[in-house]
Amino acid sequence: MSTPAAAAQRAPVPMVVVGGYLGAGKTTLLNRLLERADGLRVAVLVNDFGEINIDAALIRTRSSDVLQLENGCICCSIGGRLAEALAAVGARPDRPDLLVIEASGVSDPVRIAQVGLLDPALQLNAILVAVDVQDVDEQLCDPLVGDMVRRQISGATALVLTKADLAGACATEKVAARVAGMAPGAVVLAARHGEIPLAVFIDAAASPRRPQGLLQAGGSWKSQAGNMAGMADVGSFSYATRRCFDRQRLRQALRTLPVPLLRAKGIVRLGGQDSVQEVHVVGGRLRIASLHGARVSESVFVFIGCFTAMGREAILRCLEGALAAP
């Protein structure tokens, strides 16, 4: 895999794992993403259950940057090959702006994400699981596949309800409530003709070949508030303070946020430490690491998800409670 020293010199590649049971609509979601990528360079790694990778052939009609792995469960029988393929992406001289992994319908997307997180050249943005509104109840009750489908859903950071137009509003609402209970930390969205907000995959305000990570040229902070990708159900808001955070209280606050979110990221100053820290939160997974060379006068966060006014206030209260003593 990429060495830590080499990875530190460049911003990591955002990675999204797309999972879901057979026929849930994963390839449709990917193709819709590729159709409206707006200049983003998207690399897609596709695994199919069989010797002939049909999904890769379908996606290749819309993207020239497709890697494929065949023959079974991506997270067990070809785990080593997956790690090698991901390392190759991270080692490219000209990295993509986004890496999307389409898992086979019988694999565990969380385990795939864990393989990717071993490489410092990659950064997890989401574990997206497609849920077929018409068939999910039957799948969950199936003694052969029910546990696997339940495991896929429970590990998601974003659940995308597909075929909702065919199932109807009432059935969709019931499924949404059921799967939200199985993955309480996940954002639940309904796909609209196979389309979901681009912010589920990558920051909507990000432009191709952007400068290093969260900091723009000159060291200033830029964020986008309000709705993203033209869809009011996904938005972002920011928080800034000149006070430092207490490291332990901040960890606890970010791990116990009372509102589901897609992800959060920040650049913060910690009490008693000279180095600035970068913070990333995805689906309850938290990473805090030193951001060498950064100079900031305040701590800043951006939260991305589906927020009500009460949800924003709850998050802000958590952050205020994590501040170090003046």
Low-confidence winner among 103-117, 202-216, 235-249 (lowest mean pLDDT): 202-216
- The backbone torsions φ and ψ at residue 285, rounded to the nearest 5 degrees and listed phi first, read -90, 125
Model confidence pLDDT, tens digit, residues 136-149 = 999 999 999 999 99
CA distance 19 to 321: 36
- Mean pLDDT estimate for the chain: 79
Q: What confidence score (pLDDT) does residue 297 get?
A: 84
The pLDDT confidence band at residue 3, using thresholds 50, 70 and 90, is low
Q: Is the pTM of this model over 0.95?
A: no
Q: What confidence score (pLDDT) does residue 261 get?
A: 86
Percent of the chain with pLDDT over 90: 34
**Mean pLDDT of the region 69-98:** 71
Low-confidence winner among 85-99, 122-136, 158-172 (lowest mean pLDDT): 85-99
- Please say whether the beta carbons of 261 and 187 come within 8 A: yes
Model confidence pLDDT, tens digit, residues 29-52 = 988 888 887 778 888 888 754 433
Q: What confidence score (pLDDT) does residue 175 get?
A: 94
Given a cut of 50, whether residue 86 has pLDDT beyond it is yes
Percent of the chain with pLDDT over 70: 78
Q: What is the distance of C-alpha 294 from the center of its chain?
A: 25
- Please say whether the beta carbons of 106 and 262 come within 8 A: no
- Please say whether the beta carbons of 85 and 102 come within 8 A: no
CA distance 140 to 162: 16
**Mean pLDDT of the region 55-62:** 47
- Please say whether the beta carbons of 227 and 237 come within 8 A: no
**Mean pLDDT of the region 232-252:** 87
- Angle formed by the axes of helices 109-117 and 79-90, to 10°? 50
Of the candidates 56, 29, 44, the residue with the CA atom closest to the CA atom of residue 97:
44
**Mean pLDDT of the region 236-244:** 90
CA distance 214 to 229: 19
- Please say whether the beta carbons of 324 and 245 come within 8 A: yes
Model confidence pLDDT, tens digit, residues 164-176 = 888 888 999 999 9
Given a cut of 60, whether residue 153 has pLDDT beyond it is yes
**Mean pLDDT of the region 150-155:** 95
| End-to-end Cα, the chain, rounded Å | 43
Q: What confidence score (pLDDT) does residue 1 get?
A: 53
Residue of higher predicted confidence among 236 and 161: 161
Given a cut of 90, whether residue 246 has pLDDT beyond it is yes
* Side chain identity, residue 71: N
Q: What confidence score (pLDDT) does residue 216 get?
A: 35
Low-confidence winner among 143-147, 189-193, 228-232 (lowest mean pLDDT): 228-232
In order of 140, 143, 283, the CA distances from 147 in angstroms are 7, 8, 21
CA distance 85 to 307: 36
